[in-house]
Structure 1
Amino acid sequence: MKLRFVSSRSTRGVLSALAFALGFAGTSSAAVTWQDIQFGGFASQGYLLSSANDYLGETSDGTFDFREYALNASWAKGKFRIGAQAFGQKLGQYGEDRIKLDWATIDYQPAQWLGFRAGRVKMPRGLYNEALDLDSVRPFVLLPQSVYDARLRDFNAAFNGAMIFGNISLRQAGSVDYRLFYGDIPMSTSSGASDYFNNDQPFPNTSIGMDAVYGGSVFWNTPATGLRVGYSYSTFENFGVDRIAYYGGMTIPLQKLTSNHHRHLLSAEYTYGDWIFAAEAGWENAHSVILMAGQPSGSVADFDSDYYYVSVARRVHARVELGAYVSHSHDATVLIPAQAGLSLPPLSQTDYAVSAKFDLNEHLIFKLEGHYLDGSGKLFDTPAHPQPFVQRDNSWTMVAAKMTLSF
């Protein structure tokens, strides 16, 4: 595997930004408070290089198109709390360094067991979905992609709507954290979610959206010190995409796909001294109707996906934390009746990862991670970025590095 650098203005800009971060970190303070408003944020720059295939960007040539940055602010008084975060990212062809409103909420919690939240709300899914930006609390450059696919942040991170939440004491039996939500997720055809739902299809999406998203999570903080287990559920109601085809220079409507998409996720985490063990397993399914242009009825597509990961992390030094995980996913789509050229083979991928995190000082961390990947089922093959299944390498490696400044 060759490490290839391209001398360019963008690469020099990245290196300059890292140099600035190193200098700034030595004098920066943590969150800043002004008029009872607390400000914080982070900026990270990474590098990805794979021995084959393009995953999370043009990784087979090595890419610096792997960065995130945000600024957040929050204010609290009594039973009320208001907060928001502006966020930008570049992950391969996604993000394009556009600044957007990542989340913005107002909370009212009259009691420990009952609270209300509204606005652009973080999605309660699994152990870590509401803490995607807390880079300093885990050694991994990439969370297990079978559950926390970095390309689907627009789809998974937050929704526009409302939530009911709380913590219910069970006395000697521990306590339960619950969240129930309802809302909507605006999406774009340039997003990773659009490519995910257009994977291995010969025609691009022209629109993508849903009527609503709803669900919740429940986590039991068991009486065993350090152990919590939970379940998360969500449904995307009337989720749909429109696709088109191009023939002889003409744009022709081809098909409309709609479904109710259901997701389930079981989670467990155990902290013991300097050790953290975690495991999550999920499955999702959708029964979709495909209507072809000009046809009164269509065919059916059954989509099923199952996935899991097991991870372990341990702090071995005041400034060093190590981690490892195995992450697996398997997707299958069956068209009834089968349509020539549109049927998909089962898509599987197993990722074996080892990581190291170095706390350079209070605000600056560096991470280095190696991956061995068996299978290529999580690669995207789209009209804009073709990567046909039969041309993929199914035994490959990837190296990821990341520097993060938190303030």
Structure 2
Amino acid sequence: MRYIRGFVLVTGMLSSLALAQDWQWNGFISQGLVGVDGSHFFTDDDTSLELTEATLMSSWRPAEHWRLAGALNYRQRGNLIDEAWQTDYLFVEYLHFLASGHMGARLGRVKNEVGLYSSTRDVPFSRPGIIMPQSIYSDYYRDAQLHIDGLDIFGQYHLEDGQLNWHLTGGSADATKDLTRNVNGTLAYGQYHSDAFVSLDLDLQYQDWTLGATLFHVGLGFETEPKTFESHVDLRALVLSAQYRAGPLELTAEFMQGNRYLKGIFSSGGEQREPYRGYYLDLHSRFASPVNVFARFDHMINNLDDRNGVRLERATGIPAHYGYSKDWVAGVQWQLADNWLLVAEHHWIEGAAWVPPVIFPQPLTQDKYWSIFALQLSYRMQW
């Protein structure tokens, strides 16, 4: 709430200077429909209209080296997110120009740069579909990857046939009640809070290639209610990204490997380490100018020491298919006009590694083989 008040205050103060300075406004609004068969991943019913997104973004540059920027968004995403307004980012930026690029720093609430799409995953016009590849951009851990309250130091250098971008980010992630519900299934036992988030992101754009690497660490503490026990979950991962464009074809691949460290009530004693892995392959092909057809395969392994979930089932009785997920996706993006985008996609899924709640799964509401159909219409604005 304090960031919403801050955003309103800052934009209100600066709007009086808008006519005399470099001021920009833009945003979007979208509405979708999701149908799920064999799971409660998004909705407890067969279909749901609870796929609503809206964002208003503002940027003001009072001087050559300085910028203030903020974004206020509204999201309703079925069982994954309670409908709410949120400050997506709100920062002050200083930019220093170099002969071959620039360096800068942002202080405040800043977007994280994890993989190719983390900073733009909530914008329908810039993401590869409605439901992101869950192996890299999981919806249940969205809070831990989306943005932080802290500092982002960044740079851009122009090369002969491309450019290099880098970000060094550190601060505190935004652990909301949605994160607690998605991981635990309830708020009755306590709530997660952020300990720290640190990441280093490199992005090289060279001719028809984009290559990237992100190394990040996020720490989450958990306090029981009443405050009897404290536990910790640390995620440390490396994300490798590659994208190649050849005529109407665009091939994207991202790979993540990391370790999940559990302490306290989440482990059987001491510190428990669980290695995990995820990757996806995505092919976009633009047959006609306004139409973009795409296909994707997304694979996630929750614990590399138990790739098929057999040990999970023997130890806990939880079905083995909770240990992995395989998602085959086919979809189409139709640019109805410059400001209008219609997207439809279908997912055929085996496994439930990314179905919340994560710690206390609900086998009675989850099949091994299940499917998702999603449809979304979006409109963007700029002033």
Instruction: Indicate whether the TM-score tops 0.5.
Output: yes
Asked if 1:300 is matched to 2:288, the reply is no
Shift of the alpha carbon at 1:197?
3.7
Partner of 2:205: 221
CA contact (8 A) 2:66 2:93 kept: yes
Shift of the alpha carbon at 1:69?
0.6
Letter paired with 1:62: T
Partner of 1:240: 221
Q: Deviations over 1:113-146 (max 9, x none)?
A: 4211111100011011112233224551222121
Alpha carbon RMSD of aligned pairs, Å? 2.9
Asked if 1:83 is matched to 2:64, the reply is no
One of 234, 240, 256 as aligned partner of 1:260: 234
Letter paired with 1:289: K
Asked if 1:397 is matched to 2:371, the reply is yes
Distance 1:211 1:159 in 2: 11
Letter paired with 2:69: G
Shift of the alpha carbon at 1:103?
0.6
Shift of the alpha carbon at 1:220?
2.0
Q: Structure 1 residue runs of 4+, over 6 Å off?
A: none
One of 20, 30, 45 as aligned partner of 2:31: 45
One of 226, 243, 258 as aligned partner of 1:269: 243
SS of the equivalent of 2:40 reads coil
Tell me how many residue pairs correspond in the alignment. 350
Distance of aligned partners of 1:137 and 1:242 in 2 relative to their CA distance in 1, 3 Å threshold: closer
Partner of 1:365: 341
Distance of aligned partners of 1:255 and 1:390 in 2 relative to their CA distance in 1, 3 Å threshold: farther
Shift of the alpha carbon at 1:364?
1.4
Distance of aligned partners of 1:382 and 1:115 in 2 relative to their CA distance in 1, 3 Å threshold: closer
Q: Deviations over 1:246-271 (max 9, x none)?
A: xxxxxx76743224321210000112
Asked if 1:328 is matched to 2:299, the reply is yes
Structure 2: gaps (5+ residues) = 1-17, 306-313
CA contact (8 A) 2:91 2:109 kept: yes
CA contact (8 A) 1:89 1:97 kept: yes
Larger-gyration structure (1/2): 1
Asked if 1:143 is matched to 2:127, the reply is no
Partner of 1:28: none
Asked if 1:70 is matched to 2:59, the reply is no
CA contact (8 A) 2:276 2:302 kept: yes
Distance 1:64 1:303 in 2: 36
CA contact (8 A) 2:280 2:296 kept: yes
CA contact (8 A) 2:183 2:356 kept: no
SS of the equivalent of 1:99 reads strand
Partner of 2:356: 380
Asked if 1:175 is matched to 2:157, the reply is no
Distance 2:128 2:334 in 1: 8
CA contact (8 A) 2:280 2:297 kept: yes
Partner of 1:13: none
Partner of 1:184: 172
Letter paired with 1:300: E
Asked if 1:348 is matched to 2:324, the reply is yes
Letter paired with 1:380: P
